[in-house]
Structure 1
Amino acid sequence: MSSMTPGTTPASRDPWADPAGPDDGRSRSAAAPRQVPGFVQADWSSRGQMRQELARAQDDRRTGFEPVSGALSRRVGDRPALSLVARAARSAGNLFRHDPTAERLQSAARGVQAPVTTGRRIAVVSLRGGAGKTTVAALLGRTYASLRPEPVAALDLDPGVGALALRLSDPSTAGVPVPSVDQLAAGLVGLPQVNQQGVTSLMGQAPDELHLTGPRTAGGPLGRARLTSTLATVSRFFPVTVVDCPTGLDHPDTAQVLTQAHAAVFAVPATATGVDEAAGYLRHWLQDPFLSAIPVAAVVTASDRASALDPLAQAAALTRVGVMAGALRYDRHLAGGVGIRLPLIRPENRRATAELASGILAEANRQRGGAGAAEAAGRRREGRAQ
């Protein structure tokens, strides 16, 4: 026997079934408007009005509907890699030993600031996802921009909504939309006059005159013609362009970028499988008629504090393959996944990044044939395949 009193609504009834709003047993005229923090006036007597109010407040920090990336950037974006205790211990230890970090950073800075005759394009690639490719690309872009007097470009070609723009943003601009490389390519076609001001107006901007593209949502390859034209135009106005390529060297956009690149950086995860696969592929790289024309450096990245592999030891092992190699140790600041600020990363990682940026730029400048040598080798390979 039901214990429901007359005039009440069954619990199973959908409270929004009535277009006028939820039935709480009170008359519409007697119900007081409901107050919600952050709203000027929230009257939920109408389902449509409720949805409009929620949509309007979706990105309002006061109501808690801020995007996750923005909230995380504000919380951990200024968190240094080393704790206060660790920094104090290092400072005390430096009183009794010589720390060569400052001298090595100065030496690497001179290499990063080396003049270039034409725009150099540096491709950052990986065999698998999770290798730290975007982190390496962001570190390189940030390093070149902070040390060179000219503007620097960083392009995100990842078709799966890449995070390069997030890694290059600061906490105050996290979550701000940045034009994608697809929008950049389309905008370049419509420019009445192709100049630096016009090109930069189609890109986002980070501190230190670093111009970038945001996440892609198109999903498919950019295409050979558009990608070649975009890279050529961007290189006219930026001495260094860092390209975060799609995962996998068999992706059409990655293969096309390599035909235009002056050097490449190979991101390797600090795992047994990752290092073994990278060693095998790098041996192939040095023997392939097409890839061997492109200077390459490997970077072993550790994203787990408890990793069983030492990235420094694995980088040393990769040098025996015959390539330049470096390592990025576990870094609490980098592991946050948000905007990178160079002064906050581990001193060892800052030094390793600066030396990598200096070394790979020197290799790119040393490549006399430029990217044309790799492109010619690629055309020869395509001819043999046909």
Structure 2
Amino acid sequence: MTGSARSDWQRDLVRELTDSPPSENGAPHTPEPQPQLPVPRQPRDPRTLPAPTPESRPTVDPRLAVALGRPQHGDSAARRAGAGVRRLTASAGREVAEQTRYAQELQRPVTTGRVVAVTSIRGGVGKSTVSALLGRTFNHYRQDPVLTLEADAALGTLPVRMGAESVRWSAGDLARILSPAMQLTDVTGYLVPVADGGWLLPAGQGRVGAPLNVATYRTVTLALRRYFAVTVVDCETLPGEVARTAMDTAHARVVVAPMTAEGVHGTRQVLDWLARLPHSALDSTVVALSAATPDATLDTKAAAAHLREPGVTVVHLPYDRHLAQGGPIHTAKLARDTRDAAVRLAAEVLGRAVRVR
């Protein structure tokens, strides 16, 4: 290769690499440094980012779990013996007919997923307890998948009441990875299996953090409805934004009323608000009148009558020692009256949810 050819080859190579001609002596020409303008970075869609796997956290601190003690029965031994005698003298046929009717109501076919929202006017009145009772009752009677979803921005107790030992994925975590291509087996991998059947999706990991917002709630409930026949939503208390959204969009509603004068009065105001919603939400609402103490002095019949005036059904949940103890709910430990009330409440609310188009 001649010197001229080599020079041309080098010149062409330098031009390709530097996009500038070489100097006269064949050396690459070094351009004057130019100020570099910042290149704007395009933000990545967070939905395309891999979701980090959260740590699994216990629902109850192990140091506190030992303080729960052994679960006690909802009724005392004397009361259980007396109830057995009363059942022998009562109309057994009427009781069997009623139980059969409720069982049939709970087992009726559901063509599209039904959402049942549970809320109250304030915390500490048994909202999560009622949600857990409903979830367990639907799990017991139905053969299709049932989900109990926590939508409480506060540090809720639903995972504990449902018997979950630990939680990992929350509603907010799942909202970021849900896609129409997911199958039921894919979704349940992010849920907590309940001991006696069904699934649980907690709102968080039992610590203070970002509250569940309306957008997350809508994303999760709309996506999961196609996988589960019944979804029980343990909402935040009214008038929270998520609670109002859940009550407005659910197929049926349960308002938990504490059996106190101020509790009944506040619940009646909620019922009046539901009556003003444009799609007759009151027609698909049931009130659970819950007794938190055996020493309640409010007249149960008078309180129920006051709540029935707008046209809703009221189901009385009696005081239960097992529920008052806190911790996981063991169905076998519930008082008989509590189990009967839970079955009736679930049948009443599902009947209304199925009738909604």
- Asked if Structure 1 and Structure 2 have the same fold, meaning a TM-score greater than 0.5 normalized by the shorter chain, the answer is yes
Determine which of 48, 73, 76 is the counterpart of 1:83.
76
- In the alignment, the residues of structure 2 paired with residue 136 and residue 231 of structure 1 have an alpha-carbon distance, to the nearest angstrom, of 19
Question: Which residues of structure 2 form unaligned runs of 5+?
Answer: 1-57
3-state SS in 1 of match to 2:123: coil
State whether residues 282 and 312 of structure 2, in contact with CA within 8 Å, keep that contact through their aligned partners in structure 1: no
CA 1:259–1:194 in structure 2 vs 1: closer, same or farther (change >3 Å)? farther
> In the TM superposition, what is the alpha-carbon distance from 1:251 to its structure 2 partner?
1.5
CA 1:352–1:293 in structure 2 vs 1: closer, same or farther (change >3 Å)? closer
CA 1:113–1:256 in structure 2 vs 1: closer, same or farther (change >3 Å)? same
* Greater Rg by CA: 2
> In the TM superposition, what is the alpha-carbon distance from 1:356 to its structure 2 partner?
1.3
Show the counterpart of 1:93: 86
Question: Which residues of structure 1 form unaligned runs of 5+?
Answer: 1-58, 60-64, 369-386
CA 1:259–1:220 in structure 2 vs 1: closer, same or farther (change >3 Å)? farther
Q: Does 1:149 align with 2:143?
A: yes
Cα deviation code 1:270-320 (max 9, x no counterpart): 010000111132123213325637621111101111111244542233112
CA 1:177–1:294 in structure 2 vs 1: closer, same or farther (change >3 Å)? same
Q: Does 1:281 align with 2:281?
A: no
Cα deviation code 1:347-367 (max 9, x no counterpart): 222112111111111111111
Show the counterpart of 1:235: 225
- In the alignment, the residues of structure 2 paired with residue 229 and residue 139 of structure 1 have an alpha-carbon distance, to the nearest angstrom, of 25
More off after superposition, 288-297 vs 152-161: 288-297
RMSD across aligned C-alpha pairs, in angstroms? 2.3
* % identical equivalent positions: 32
Q: What TM-score results when the alignment is normalised by the length of structure 2?
A: 0.76
- In the alignment, the residues of structure 1 paired with residue 244 and residue 89 of structure 2 have an alpha-carbon distance, to the nearest angstrom, of 51
- In the alignment, the residues of structure 2 paired with residue 224 and residue 83 of structure 1 have an alpha-carbon distance, to the nearest angstrom, of 43
State whether residues 311 and 329 of structure 1, in contact with CA within 8 Å, keep that contact through their aligned partners in structure 2: no
Determine which of 41, 66, 72 is the counterpart of 1:71.
66
State whether residues 113 and 226 of structure 2, in contact with CA within 8 Å, keep that contact through their aligned partners in structure 1: yes
Cα deviation code 1:27-66 (max 9, x no counterpart): xxxxxxxxxxxxxxxxxxxxxxxxxxxxxxxx9xxxxx83
State whether residues 271 and 282 of structure 2, in contact with CA within 8 Å, keep that contact through their aligned partners in structure 1: no
Q: Does 1:212 align with 2:183?
A: no
> In the TM superposition, what is the alpha-carbon distance from 1:182 to its structure 2 partner?
1.8
- In the alignment, the residues of structure 1 paired with residue 113 and residue 145 of structure 2 have an alpha-carbon distance, to the nearest angstrom, of 11
3-state SS in 1 of match to 2:118: strand
Q: What TM-score results when the alignment is normalised by the length of structure 1?
A: 0.71
- In the alignment, the residues of structure 2 paired with residue 81 and residue 146 of structure 1 have an alpha-carbon distance, to the nearest angstrom, of 19
> In the TM superposition, what is the alpha-carbon distance from 1:221 to its structure 2 partner?
4.0
- In the alignment, the residues of structure 1 paired with residue 208 and residue 178 of structure 2 have an alpha-carbon distance, to the nearest angstrom, of 18
3-state SS in 1 of match to 2:256: strand
Q: How many residues align?
A: 295
CA 1:222–1:94 in structure 2 vs 1: closer, same or farther (change >3 Å)? closer
3-state SS in 1 of match to 2:62: coil
- In the alignment, the residues of structure 2 paired with residue 178 and residue 114 of structure 1 have an alpha-carbon distance, to the nearest angstrom, of 33
